[in-house]
Amino acid sequence: MSDGTPSHLPLDWIAAALRRERTRAGLSLSELAKRAGIAKSTLSQLEAAGGNPSMETLWALAVALGVPFSALVEPPAPMVQVIRAGEGPSVRSDRSSYVATLLSASPPGARRDIYAVDLEPGTVRASDPHIPGTVEHIVVSAGRVTAGPEGEQVELGVGDYMAYRGDVPHRYEALEPGTKFVLIMQHV
């Protein structure tokens, strides 16, 4: 896009992944929608490659399915993969300036995802708990951010690293414009 905003995820990736994971879990549309706390019509529209899903909707579906978030948004990857800065499958929050770009999803047998995150001051990205056993790792590459579980946030600057439980409510808040960090989600 001309304003530098990352493009939306191709809806056909999300639709295929939702159908695949819902079928794998043996859930009906109604049951998955109920577990995720979304309308059945919203889920039906997403599985038909319609709508414009927010990060919160996709996280809720991933948690309800018991799969990493990346299982719903990552396209099939070639053997050699390069994602240039500002490109890649990105999802933005409806509640903050948080934009996460998936860099690498867990390959079979591994359970980790890697994201490049851009976050601007003025809003807080409050995250619901992810699947049980999730641990998040952050390395700040630009700016400053407070991050971590509710009530345990820590201020981090360029080069700082932090790990914390991602299966409890947690949050991120940029303290400087242009804040960027790498987020590694480890699913145990």
List, for residues 82-103, the tens digit of each pLDDT value: 666 677 788 888 888 888 887 7
The single-letter code of the amino acid at 88 is: G
Averaging pLDDT over each range in 10-19, 27-36, 124-133, which range is the top one?
27-36
Please give the share of the chain, as a percent, with pLDDT higher than 90: 44
Question: Tokens 């509710």 sit at which residue?
Answer: 150
pLDDT in tens, 15-48: 988 998 998 899 999 999 999 999 999 999 999 9
Half-sphere exposure of 46 (CA within 13 A, CB side): 26
The per-residue pLDDT for 7 is 45
Task: Look up residue 16 and give its two tokens.
Answer: 């295929």
- Sign of the CA dihedral running 95, 101, 106, 111: negative
Task: Look up residue 91 and give its two tokens.
Answer: 């999802």
Going across the sheet that includes 179-187, the strands are 90-92, 99-104, 112-119, 179-187, 134-142, 161-165
Task: Look up residue 128 and give its two tokens.
Answer: 């619901």
The per-residue pLDDT for 76 is 55
Residues near 102 by Cβ (< 8 Å), separated by ≥ 6? 70, 73, 74, 88, 89, 90, 91, 113, 114, 115
The per-residue pLDDT for 81 is 59
Please give the share of the chain, as a percent, with pLDDT higher than 70: 87
Length of the chain equals 188
Q: Which of 51-60, 78-87, 134-143, 150-159 has the lowest mean pLDDT?
A: 78-87
Q: Which of 39-48, 104-113, 126-135, 159-168 has the lowest mean pLDDT?
A: 104-113
In this prediction, residue 4 has a pLDDT band, given cuts at 50, 70 and 90, of: very low
Say what the pTM is. Answer: 0.57
